[in-house]
Each structure stands twice: as C-alpha cells, then as structure tokens.
A and B are shown apart, each in its own frame.
Chain A
Amino acid sequence: MSIILDHVDYVYGEDTTLAVHALNDVNLVIPDGQFIGLIGHTGSGKSTLVQHLNGLIKPTGGSIYFNGEDIHAEGYDKKKLRSKVGLVFQYPEHQLFEIDVFKDVCFGPKNLGLTQKEAELRAYAALKQVGLEDEYFYQSPFDLSGGQKRRVAIAGVLAMKPDVLVLDEPTAGLDPKGRDEILDQVAKLKEETGITVILVSHSMEDVAKYVDRIIVMNQGSVLYDDVPKEVFKHYRELEDVGLAAPQVTYIMQALHKSGMPVATDATTIEQAAQEILQIFF
C-alpha cells in the first residue's frame, strides 16, 4: 500500500502564454505509515503537489498510483480516493461553507454515507481533537478568528478518518500552544492508527520536531529527500533556496565555531540541550 508519483509534471495554463511549470519530473514513493515533512520556498510547488495526491489536480505528464492503481485510469473511483486521502487546504476559508461549525464538520462523514448520528459523533470527536471549545460549535465558521477557522477545517478532514492525512500549512495562524497541540494530536493519531501524514510547513522547527522524512522542493523539483538530520546538514544550500535550518542548528554552529566541543547536527531543543550539558557536567 503506497502512493507513487511517477515522472509527474504539472503546468498551469498549458498552451497559453502565461504557462507556469509548477512541477517538473517529480518521482516519489510514499509508503504507509510515514510522517513526511514537505518544505520549500513559496511557489516551489508544494500545494500543487499535494493536490495531486487526492486527484484534485491531474498531472499534465506522468502518473500517480494509489495502492497500485492509476488514479486517472478510466473508471477509477475518485470519490473513494478522496475519502482515503484527506487534504486540509492552505486557506481554511476555501474549505468552510456550512451555516455552522458543527454542520461543517459533519459534512465530510455524511458524504461518506455514514448516518447522521455517526457523523455527529465523529464531528464531535474531531472538534475535541483540534481543541475548539463547545461555545463555538453553533456559530458560523466565518465569524471565527483566523486560528479558530483553521481548527474547524482540520476537524472536517479528521472526521473522515482518512488513511493518508495531508495538511497544507496547518499551523499557519495558530498560536504556539495550538500549533503544538494540533501537531501532537496528529502525531498521536499516527502512532495509534498507523496512518500516513504529509505535513507541508514553513516552520523548520516543527518539521524537525515531528517528521521522520523531509522532502525539499525547489522550483517544482525535489531537491532533497532524507531524514531531518541529513537534510538540515545542508543548511547553506537550504538558505540558497529560501529555507533555513531550525534556530537551534545555528546555535550549535555558533558554539562550535567559538571553540566549544559540541556536535553541530542537533535539530531540536532537547538534542541541543543534551549536547551542551555534556560539556559542562
């Protein structure tokens, strides 16, 4: 069971003078159960790439296979694919439309053919998971603060219990506690159910903390595909393509340069603290 992208190309406005080549020969294998971070400069093709995974966008070249089947083959059940690959959009407004929060989150599960009762139970659980207080359940999703809207959009996808959860910058606009809570919840969900998670993020710190594999995009192509420690070793190259390493990596570099015997490859606070403490005690 896996997702395979085989020589995927995507051009917006193909055959027009304004054509934009957003994806360029992307080859990826995404096996079950990984927690993947997808990073890259703005406009590098991350959102375009993830919209291919549930068939929203059809590649202009190459193929995509879900569990061995070509998702654009004739007769392939796209609706089923979308229930298995849940995508939370970069802009939550694009996803919210019902008259109240609770109905909005019920929409997905109901569309899967669940009964009203089952859908409501799932919606309730999902809203709890994202930490939205009950007092907002019957308000219009459009009357919420930015971070509250984000939570509702995430809950809407969680309620569908997808096998592959794709989050396009889910923590943008969340307060720091909310950011940690949501990612902790996603990590826990992944541990408990073995789902695949693909996290698109501009926060190098979050990516370093949560994922087992990082895919770096640059101008529509895959630049690196490796474990976080290895990817962030290329911090200079990452800077050249609009990215960076987590701040702790720079701290370790600075300490090392000033003559302290510390390793420079820490990517989280815990690793950095441990590394520094060992030279003092």
Chain B
Amino acid sequence: MGIIKTDKLVFEYIRRDEEGNVEGITRAVDEVDLDVKQGDFVAILGHNGSGKSTLAKHINAILYPTEGAVWVDGMDTRDEKDLWNIRQEAGMVFQNPDNQIIGQVVEEDVGFGPENMGVPTEEIWERVEESLKAVGMYAYRKFSPNKLSGGQKQRVSIAGVIAMHPKCIILDEPTAMLDPNGRKEVVRAVRALNDVEGITVVLITHYMEEIIHADKVFVMDKGKVAMEGTPREIFSQVKRLKELRLDVPQVTLLAYELQRKGIELPDGILTVEELTQHLLQKYHMK
C-alpha cells in the first residue's frame, strides 16, 4: 500500500435548513481510487468544483469519507487515535493564506508547528531559517504577517508546513496568488523537498506548466478521476483536456498549433528546449 490510498472514496456535502431537514446533497467526490507511492510527486488537476479540495481534505483527516476509506501511511483516517499522527505526517497548505497564519511575527508563525511537536528550541530556529529561505521570505522574518500582501503570506504558510518536516505535503493551489518569480521559487522549493528529502508531494493547481515534472497526474471531473498518467501522456491529449475545462502549457499548445498547421512534431512536448530541438532539426532538413 502507498503512503496515500483511497478505496472507492465518496464524499457528500449535506445542506440542511434551520430545522435540520436535508435541503440538498452534493456528491463532491465520487468513487475515487488513489494510490500514491512514498516519494512520488503527484499532481491533481480539474475544473472548479470538481472535488480537488474535498479530496485533499480527506488526506489529513479534516473530512471523513461518506463511503469508502482513506489510509495515510497505513493508518485509517477514521481511526481517532491516529488523528494527530496523520496530521503531522500529512501537512497541508491551503488556497487562502489568511486562514492559516496565527503568529504575530513571521518567524514565530513558522516555528509554531515544530514547537507543538516538541522539537528542541535550537532546532526550531534552524528549521524556521531553512524554511523561510526556501520560500524567499527570510528577509521578512521579523514582520507581522497581517502586514504582508497576499503573495507574501502564502509563502509564509508554505514555510510553516515545511518546518514540520512532514512525510507528505498536500498543497491546494499554493501559487494561485504568487507572482511569476514566487511561483517558480515555490515550485522549485517543493520539488527540492521531494527530490532531496523524499517527501511525497500532492500538488493541486490550475497552472499547467507547474506540473510537467510530476511523476503522475490525476485529472478530476465532477468528483471522478477522468484521466490518469504521466504529464506527457496527459498533455498529449489537448482536445480531451479542453473538454475537461483544462489547458496545456503554452509551449505544448504552440507545438500543437504548429502540428495542426502541418509541421510534424511529436505529441506532448513539455519544454522550450524540446520544441527548439525539434524545430531546429526540421529547419536544417529544409
């Protein structure tokens, strides 16, 4: 069994009126089977409302299955005695940084997690420094978080999770509010955590180019997993992705447009280097 496993996971939001009568039911996750290997970098894509956040909240036991089951490192998330172990092993970064920051000073905020875990003081400061540097916010360590702009806050909350040294980190659109440079820094930091520390990464995003290095991509549609494969396999299917309200990186789209206009290129080109190489070859043959 992988570090994260779900078996026919179903989750329904139930809306009730004041008297408690059921007003409506939304099946947000619908029979999802996931199996994520320890050390993998997994990406989850999907249209708005497709169930990504709901699925993510099951991984660190914020939500519990309506049907089916979820295991984290072999622990059933419904088992109350494992709740804190699960939350420590699976760290989560949410979409909106405003709800995640509690400290009065940036470095304090980042230190909260390790402090609660009982990490020795000296090591806490090491972790705070390394995490803040990883997201490019070290210069702001003495700032008050509520005086930071949106993008700056988001980087602090990522540092807060990194400082806990979790086995697995789930990031729910962590870069949605960042500038191009901040996005690159965060993706680089997350990739380094994955490569160097072997931390399992689950990245939810609407930025297609952020996940070209993922080991595996899941595409959600109306609560179900609609596609599953490597980035190249997924991004080769431009039409299918567009039907699912998604897109491909600009370089992939450009290659696809050139293909349609009669230039022979392989499907699923993912990087600028690849495209340059193929076009150059064609150009010299001409």
Answer yes or no: do A and B interact: yes
Q: Is A112 an interface residue (CB 8 A)?
A: no
Report which of B147, B176, B180, B276 forms a contact with A172, defined as CB distance below 8 A. B176
Q: Is B247 an interface residue (CB 8 A)?
A: yes
Report which of B95, B147, B279, B280 forms a contact with A20, defined as CB distance below 8 A. B147
**Chain A residues closer than 8 Å to B15, beta-carbon distance:** 139, 143
Say whether B282 contacts A42, CB under 8 Å.
no
**Chain B residues closer than 8 Å to A13, beta-carbon distance:** 147
Query: In chain B, residues 246-279, which have Cβ atoms closer than 8 Å to a Cβ of chain A?
Result: 246-247, 249-251, 253-254, 257-258, 261-263, 272-273, 275-276, 279
A14 to B: closest C-beta gap in Å: 13
Say whether A177 contacts B245, CB under 8 Å.
yes
Say whether A276 contacts B279, CB under 8 Å.
yes
Report which of B48, B98, B283 forms a contact with A174, defined as CB distance below 8 A. B48
Q: Is B84 an interface residue (CB 8 A)?
A: no
Say whether B247 contacts A176, CB under 8 Å.
yes
Query: In chain B, residues 138-184, which have Cβ atoms closer than 8 Å to a Cβ of chain A?
Result: 144, 147-152, 173, 176-183
**Chain A residues closer than 8 Å to B180, beta-carbon distance:** 202, 204, 242-244
Chain A residue with Cβ nearest B148: A43
**Chain A residues closer than 8 Å to B177, beta-carbon distance:** 42, 90, 169, 172, 202
Given contacts A42-B182, A175-B245, A178-B245, contact A146 B173 (CB under 8 A): yes
Q: Is B46 an interface residue (CB 8 A)?
A: yes
Report which of B48, B98, B151, B251 forms a contact with A146, defined as CB distance below 8 A. B48
Say whether A148 contacts B49, CB under 8 Å.
yes
Q: Residue among B246, B258, B283 with the most chain A CB within 10 A?
A: B283
Q: Is A205 an interface residue (CB 8 A)?
A: yes
A and B contact pairs by CB, cutoff 8 A, 29 listed: A20-B147, A42-B149, A42-B182, A43-B149, A139-B15, A144-B49, A145-B53, A146-B95, A146-B173, A169-B150, A173-B176, A176-B246, A176-B247, A177-B247, A178-B47, A178-B48, A178-B245, A202-B178, A239-B181, A242-B179, A242-B180, A242-B182, A247-B250, A250-B272, A259-B280, A260-B280, A269-B257, A276-B279, A280-B286
